[in-house]
Structure 1
């Protein structure tokens, strides 16, 4: 069987971070297209509710509660997927957390947690997926990076560092697969611009201001890109014109692009409403945020209307 699925009908697709944002939207889209979806996240109730929604619509879903920073739990996810569906065709490493603020203002424990989830958790997922794919001879690994994978961003230092590592890992894995002749195993990296999902609410925040970013994208364009990557993976896939422009600009004018991006982030921080420091959902999941859209654009609109901007 070729790695390049003609369509996802009947394929088994593992999705980490499935309880909200890109993961939730991707699970709904893929199940509607006939894929068997394995839903993984920390929130048991929300996962079960999503699985029930998918089943009610005629799809087939398995929910597995895990914390991706624990390698034994990621291994359990792979085993449960194979036990239920017999194989894994696509593994989507979608979990991502953030800590917002100037680097030195963020507690070191929060930086460590970002590394544990965004990088180590992704490595654990990639390791499980690739060992299975090599045994069966085919498969697609999709890693969710960010435009921060290419362009480092102020107030997101450790997050940007992990996303740069995600792209580097994906590129290296593709080269190693080429060297051993595994041409039917592909690794793709999705690189969105800032997107309006619950990620911003879930992030730890030490800026003193509500999280926001300029010209945020709708999550649907990223969901569509992830779905497309299941059958046509790209090693490096910026999503949307802003991500494409930022990616291209950084290749040509790296220092200028970094200054401009950081100046935009700084202005956005100081435009926002004042809020208290929070660890968000990086240690414990939040309740009531199992949505695709984060509601950040609506809040930004209200903030700017109040300030007459």
Structure 2
């Protein structure tokens, strides 16, 4: 039929759907005909996005750090659409600042969101995939899971855990002969989404980094895994170059990365400490893209405030 779309009948769960990668993934998959289940804490935003996407979009208010919320997300998706074909653990947060200056409650909260949230989602997804004997689990990690990030040590640790978790689950599916169940991990570069708005910031400075990648590049790569699953993908030449260099001269690359991060922080305007969206989601930062590219342009032109 002429009205059929590329992904008619495909059901995809996306966490972190209220902004950034998650919102972009939902919009594209919905436009291609998929059933999309939108998970995030910001109810109003995912309800608005679901209306925009149409009747095959289902918003489910979810705090991924709570096991009961993730169970309800899974059960609601299956109840509405009968199955889940793809589960994308995209939601995560970060903290920038000296490790000992970050409040313990913020460090614990980041572990709950990034590690426990991904674990809960992976558990419910794989349990369902085993029952239906097929499915694709996509876990969003980062290049910093493989290269140390000073002043982001706890974030680096959570992303390393996600990469290792995904690799172990990938091997588990292979050993069990489940060739139609795929586990993928994604490692993007620093990307221009609204992540700086939601990040806990104890650096004393505004978060202004560059050069950054376009979110559309990452969104396309994630959706590409639905068609051609891979165990692990490193997105972009900056990630691939950094990882290759780190393997050759880890001490030097680690030192240069740390020095570069510190220089960018120290050159940015001062800012008050904030826990970002760790404990309570902020109203700001609602689009796919952020403002890092615009800030970099102003800085290069000498127009930075």
TM-score (norm 1): 0.94
Q: 1:300 Cα deviation (Å)?
A: 3.0
Match of 2:261 in 1: 265
Distance in 2 between the 1:21 and 1:27 partners? Answer: 10
Is the contact between residue 12 and residue 35 of structure 1 (CA under 8 Å) also seen in structure 2?
yes
Aligned pair 1:218/2:195, yes or no?
A: no
Match of 1:45 in 2: 44
Match of 2:3 in 1: none
Q: 1:307 Cα deviation (Å)?
A: 6.9
Aligned pair 1:255/2:254, yes or no?
A: no
Distance in 2 between the 1:304 and 1:205 partners? Answer: 24
SS at match of 1:40: strand
Match of 2:177 in 1: 181
Task: Figure out how many residues of one structure are paired with residues of the other and give that number.
Answer: 299
> Matches of residues 1-309 of structure 1 in structure 2 within 5 Å?
8-55=7-54, 60-306=56-302
Distance in 1 between the 2:263 and 2:61 partners? Answer: 38
SS at match of 2:234: strand
Distance in 2 between the 1:100 and 1:291 partners? Answer: 22
Is the contact between residue 13 and residue 88 of structure 1 (CA under 8 Å) also seen in structure 2?
yes
Distance in 2 between the 1:296 and 1:247 partners? Answer: 23
In structure 2, stretches of 5+ residues that fail to align are: 1-5
Q: 1:250 Cα deviation (Å)?
A: 2.1
Distance in 1 between the 2:252 and 2:110 partners? Answer: 27
Q: 1:304 Cα deviation (Å)?
A: 4.4
SS at match of 1:18: coil
Match of 1:3 in 2: none
Is the contact between residue 88 and residue 139 of structure 1 (CA under 8 Å) also seen in structure 2?
yes
Is the contact between residue 210 and residue 293 of structure 2 (CA under 8 Å) also seen in structure 1?
no
Is the contact between residue 22 and residue 222 of structure 1 (CA under 8 Å) also seen in structure 2?
yes
Deviation digits for residues 91-139 of structure 1 (CA, Å, limit 9, x no counterpart): 0000110111011111111111110000111000000000000011000
In structure 1, stretches of 5+ residues that fail to align are: 1-6
Segments ≥4 residues shifted beyond 4 Å:
none
